Amino acid sequence: MARKNRVAVIGASGRMGKAIIQVLSQSKVSELSAAVVGKGSVYLGLDSGLHSGLKQNEILFSDDLSKSISGSDTVIDFSIREVLSDVLSTCKEFKKPVVVGTTGLTETHKELLKETSKIIPIVYSPNMSIGVNLLFKLTEIAAKVMGDLADIEIQDIHHRHKKDAPSGTAEKLKTILLETLSRTESNIVHGRHGILPERDPKEIAIHTLRAGEVIGDHTVYFFTPEERVEISHKAQDRKTFAVGSVKAAEFLVGREKGLYDMFSVLGL
């Protein structure tokens, strides 16, 4: 039987890290090689309670970033953006492909991803969910058909703990709409308040809600005078993002250097 793909998980103590570990524990193709918790420039070891149910003799838990990455076949990073540079540098050093699902990345981070992808293969997506990436594709199709006829709005709902707003997914939807319709950031409005002029035909508004424990809901609306089209995705379990992340890690095995997205992983 062929050896399983060994995956190192960076940010394993977070909500997503725990979900990824659970998916890996059930995978027939990949397994957990090592797990690292990243916080600033300090890497902390895992609490044993985070990996209950996994066979300890099959898994190495490490607080050493270099050791964890060098001993893996692929890396999944769901830590925090402040450690992305360290993660990419270490992956580059050991020539290890990496899946980056960390949110709130700046343009500087994205440039770093592009530069590093000249050395190693990287999958980066603001949302690893298979369903959300279908949402991206359907939004592109709808924009091509209805974009010049419709008023377009984006709604982003997440749990009260989420720090970035709008979400990376909402930002990706915005980018798809702008590129498809040849519009610019000047057409974007974030919420509305006060006495406003009549809506500009090319305006695209983004509305952000942060409340409760909502995992992630996104809807793109296309309004015409005669009808309304709504394209929605509602996450019911964080496992959906974990499944996509593990699928992306498996996609990267043996892949040529370059920057890939989930469209590439899913054949969209």
Q: Is 159 annotated as a binding residue?
A: yes
Q: Is 101 annotated as a binding residue?
A: yes
In contact, 60 and 82? CB cutoff 8 Å: no
Q: Is 184 annotated as a binding residue?
A: no
> What whole-number distance in Å separates Cα of residue 59 and Cα of residue 4?
12
Q: Is 92 a catalytic residue?
A: no
Q: How many helices (H) and strands (E) does the chain have?
A: 8, 12
Q: Is 16 annotated as a binding residue?
A: yes
Return the axis-axis angle of helices 107-116 and 84-94, rounded to nearest 10°. Answer: 0
> What whole-number distance in Å separates Cα of residue 235 and Cα of residue 180?
25
Q: Is 12 annotated as a binding residue?
A: yes
Strand partners, 98: 75, 122
Longest CA pairwise span in the chain (Å) = 68
Q: Is 53 annotated as a binding residue?
A: no
Q: Is 137 a catalytic residue?
A: no
User: Cα–chain-centroid distance for residue 144?
Assistant: 25
Q: Is 169 annotated as a binding residue?
A: yes
Q: Is 5 annotated as a binding residue?
A: no
Of these residues, 4, 67, 137, 162, which one is catalytic?
Answer: 162
Q: Is 103 annotated as a binding residue?
A: yes
Of these residues, 18, 96, 109, 158, which one is catalytic?
Answer: 158
- Which residues does the annotation place in the binding site for (S)-2,3,4,5-tetrahydrodipicolinate? 159, 168-169
Q: Catalytic residue positions?
A: 158, 162
- Which residues does the annotation place in the binding site for NAD(+)? 11-16, 101-103, 125-128
- Which residues does the annotation place in the binding site? 11-16, 101-103, 125-128, 159, 168-169
